[in-house]
Structure 1
């Protein structure tokens, strides 16, 4: 058996690796955000069925989307090796395989918002590298085979050595291409530097209002630090848009189309407010919720300036990375403080939270309102479009639901008999909470004491004291909003428009 034959899959793998590395470097040098690999990975996310997408949100945090990239790389490695084997007898089949992969990347790139020809350049460069490198390696493998046919050691060793040297050089080029792309394309570092140097007139540091905490250890901080704020998005690589390059287009069913640069935006009057955000995929008792001091420009004034036409009832928002959501037009134009946020807790938005500009809408779940890295707003009708999550089974509109949690004591805690201090949080943004009640073992509901709140758009901490005897017990909590509506105990999943049910925990009481 020829030893050269075993190297054909290696040749295909090396050709594939150098093509990926060079395409990555080309994307970085051309300042294209999505390398072909990233474009394909985000395309996979966009096509993921709703139940799978929900499972991924429940299972992985934002950083773990790299698992998808690794999975795609493993699949590509297997395909590249197979293409190398095909090239041994059917060169045309290997070429076809590489062309098909490039076609998949082209489709993924063109699926992004406002693609340009320059966005396709990394794909073309990568494909050329695949074909040229495979041709070079194939030539030396065939020379090796001829030498093996000659059955003389003097013929075999030089050709094998040259092939191995060429393979090593190509592997080095792959590594160098990856490093060059990382160095040349460190857009995040540049964006982070511009973010840290940014000073926005009118943005103030937050001061936590008096009386908003109940003073019980174990209840989460009333103000959520930026680093602790929950993160949900579909981007493999977070968009890194410099303020000087950011622009928002407001168009569609309007009398006047508006284009705003970052300088135009921050020159307007800045509004600031405490606003709690929570995710529609937050389970009962979950932690996909946070409260921050947001600073930005009210959307009501901007949209009024654009003058929506009769019949318009929605705004289709689009992120720089192509993610979309549909927001009720009325929620963006009523008295609530819906804004284009530029700062979070007194600092320019972190990149992960939408720097330089994102949308904040009190009273709506994030999947229909909280568009990070927002670059486009089309005034339209709900009947005329679908958005990212509505395509996966979620409702078109997502007003938040009354919710409450028990944070003290923790589920499964051992506590002494007697008076037990219970505490937690409740929320119903844009309506407010008027009361919280606690129940022990299905008994009577006991009223809790509420902390203060600066407005109806934040969560509220609560505290209650209940008597518990030795044994096993179950605690429940429910909230009542400012309109007198009582939180339902009916259990519902997060799909299609948010979970419901009373947060319930079990405790053990010792004598």
Structure 2
């Protein structure tokens, strides 16, 4: 009668690893078949992790990895799952039971994560299929991994036993790769590229005024006034960009309204379109940081759209609902203060919105940070009281005045760069300032703790956009420190004290402080 022995360390580790990989591949395949990318267990667990990450940790990730923070998370998750798979396999060397329990536990975590992502009952098929596949492959490979002392196999795992495990492991690995690739291909059946192309050029009935030639100083080192779409900053909580076609998109206006409305994308596309030049800033932007960009948004005035439904008494905030279940609440008083500048946007730079910036439609409320104003991949606008808890408020942030503050006065030095060596002679210090809604009236520059000097300002486009500045001066050779500060259109000076992005308490109100750099004149 044959006797069994423990699998080798290598076979045990591979058994656990391959079982986990197969589970993820099958889950991704089924999510592609269902056209529900958010039901992929791998992405759902990642999104659940993001949801539970404390704000200071998120800020650290943004500071450290920038817009690659999601890629860093995906890489970290992949490494963690590889290690978990190896550990599961090693725990099951003596008996298959602990391994089966551990793989099943991972599957249950996936089910719970998908359930949170608003994929519906149908979406649960993906993590359930992943669980079944993972458990099944682990059981089969564990049996093949055990050497047997009978006439057909060598006790040390050679001969037929080794060949059987290798064949099984290779078959499972190829199947996992094929399933994962199949999931990616199937997901691309949602042809967002073709949908954007079909929208065509967006020609506003009310175009934005032309950008004057003196609105920026790119020759001195500032960015161009209008940010190229490829360079426009992106900050959101999605591991994968939601895929929604314009022809499938509808916008519902619900809640405290006199008459709920439902509009298709074509309904909105056929309305008189307006174009607004707007600078957007993220609340996570550090002093001197890059998360500020400007473009021409095209869409329809947001308040006019809400008034078609009739804003009922008692409404306190506008809650935007994204296709992925994400929500953002905008205080209604602050929305009204923005007036016709607040938009339901369907385009940037006279083209349909890029997918990563909210295609087919999004909200834009200039003068407010994005966490209370910018709902991408929009499907519903709900007029509500503050009893409705949006995403960030649910996580401890303040979504009501006076906790919600306008974008703070900020300025940064774009040229020279920190620690740059510049030729001797005249040196031009150039940068960017913004205080959306109030505009910039003055920028001052200080060199080596000397007197503050007024900088030359670029032509103002409108109070909701950034404004460039520059100062040319002669400096001696050696190291120099330069700082800048701005004054808004109402005469308020930029705050000197540096504060964290998220101050003690529940109020996320952006960073403060004067930006300074050190550079060397040759």
Residues 1:390 and 1:167: Cα distance change in structure 2 (over 3 Å): closer
SS of residue matched to 2:300 = strand
Cα 1:262–1:88 shift into 2, 3 Å: same
1:426 is aligned to 433
RMSD of aligned Cα (Å): 2.9
Equivalent position of 2:262 in the other structure: 259
Distance 1:419 1:90, change over 3 A: closer
Structure-2 separation of matches of 1:263 and 1:119: 28
Tell me how far apart the structure 2 counterparts of residues 152 and 330 of structure 1 sit (CA, whole Å): 78
Distance 1:440 1:131 in 2: 66
1:461–1:75 Cα change, 3 Å: closer
- Could you tell me how far apart the structure 2 residues matched to 1:154 and 1:39 are? 41
Question: What is the aligned counterpart of 1:104 among 105, 109, 130?
Answer: 109
Shift of 1:248: 2.4
Q: 1:412 and 1:69, CA in 2 relative to 1: closer, same or farther beyond 3 A? A: closer
Note if contact 2:7-2:93 (Cα within 8 Å) is conserved in structure 1: no
1:243 aligned onto 2:255: no
Query: Is 1:45 paired with 2:50?
Result: yes
Cα pair distance change 1:170/1:433, threshold 3 Å:
same
| Partner-residue secondary structure (3-state), 1:31 | coil
Q: How does 1:1-150 map to 2 (within 5 A)?
A: 2=5, 4-6=7-9, 7-34=11-38, 35-87=40-92, 89-113=94-118, 115-141=119-145, 144-147=147-150
User: Partner of 1:191 in structure 2?
Assistant: 192
CA distance in 1, matches of 2:255, 2:476: 64
Contact 1:61 1:231 in 2 (8 A): no
Q: Distance in 1 between matches of 2:274 and 2:514?
A: 35
Contact 2:318/2:383 (<8 A) preserved? yes
1:329 paired with 2:337, answer no
Structure 1 residues 472, 390: CA separation in 2 closer, same or farther (over 3 Å shift)?
farther
Deviates more, 1:194-203 or 1:153-162: 153-162
Deviations 1:297-316 (A, max 9, x none): 11101222233333322222
Does 2:408 match 1:404?
no
Please name the residue that 1:501 is paired with: 513
Corresponding residue for 2:212? Answer: 209
Q: Equivalents in 1 of 2:427, 2:68: separation in Å?
A: 39
Q: What does 1:367-386 align with in structure 2 at a 5 Å threshold?
A: 367-382=371-386, 384-386=388-390
Q: Could you tell me how far apart the structure 2 residues matched to 1:482 and 1:168 are?
A: 67
User: How far off is 1:86 after superposition?
Assistant: 4.7
Distance in 1 (CA, whole Å) between partners of 2:391 and 2:296 is 28
Q: Is the 8 A contact 1:324 1:371 kept in 2?
A: yes
Aligned length: 506
Q: 1:320 aligns with which of 311, 318, 323?
A: 323
Which sits farther off after the overlay, 211-220 or 230-239? 211-220
Q: Deviations over 1:104-141 (max 9, x none)?
A: 1121112123x311111111111111222233334444
Return the offset for 1:442. 3.8
User: Greater CA deviation, 287-296 or 486-495?
Assistant: 486-495
**Structure 2 portions without partners, runs of 5+:** 503-507
Counterpart CA distance in 1 for 2:97 and 2:357 is 47
The offset of 1:239, in angstroms, is: 0.7
Q: Aligned match of 2:179 in 177, 181, 187? A: 177
Answer whether contact 2:100 2:139 (CA < 8 A) is retained. no
Task: Name whichever of 397-406 and 203-212 sits farther off.
Answer: 203-212
The match for 2:350 is 346
Higher mean alpha-carbon deviation, 75-84 vs 345-354, is at 75-84
Deviation at 1:221, TM superposition (A): 0.7
Contact 2:281 2:369 in 1 (8 A): yes
Give yes or no for the alignment of 1:290 onto 2:290. no
Q: 1:386 to 1:370 in 2, by over 3 A?
A: closer
Change beyond 3 A, Cα 1:437–1:81:
closer
Distance in 2 between the 1:355 and 1:161 partners? 51
What does 1:435-450 correspond to in 2, within 5 Å?
435-450=442-457
CA distance in 1, matches of 2:90, 2:517: 59
Q: 1:342 to 1:88 in 2, by over 3 A?
A: same
Change (3 A) 1:467 1:305: same
Output the CA distance in 1 between the equivalents of 2:273 and 2:496: 40
Secondary structure, counterpart of 2:220 in structure 1: coil
Asked if 1:486 is matched to 2:493, the reply is yes
| 1:383 Cα offset (Å) | 5.5
Deviations 1:433-470 (A, max 9, x none): 22222233444433233222232111112233445456
Between 1:72-81 and 1:277-286, the stretch displaced more is 72-81
1:322 is paired with a residue whose SS is coil
Q: Aligned partners of 1:406 and 1:258: how far apart in 2?
A: 47
Q: How far apart, CA to CA, are the structure 1 residues paired with 2:86 and 2:427?
A: 64
Contact map agreement 1:147 1:155 (CA 8 A) in 2: no
Contact 1:394 1:497 in 2 (8 A): no
Given candidates 146, 167, 170, the residue that maps to 1:168 is 170
Give the Cα separation in 2 of the matches to 1:154 and 1:81: 21
Offset from partner CA, 1:349-405 (integer Å, 9 cap, x none): 111111111211110112221222122332223454253377255775241011122
Contact 1:430 1:456 in 2 (8 A): yes
In structure 1, runs of 5+ residues without a counterpart are none
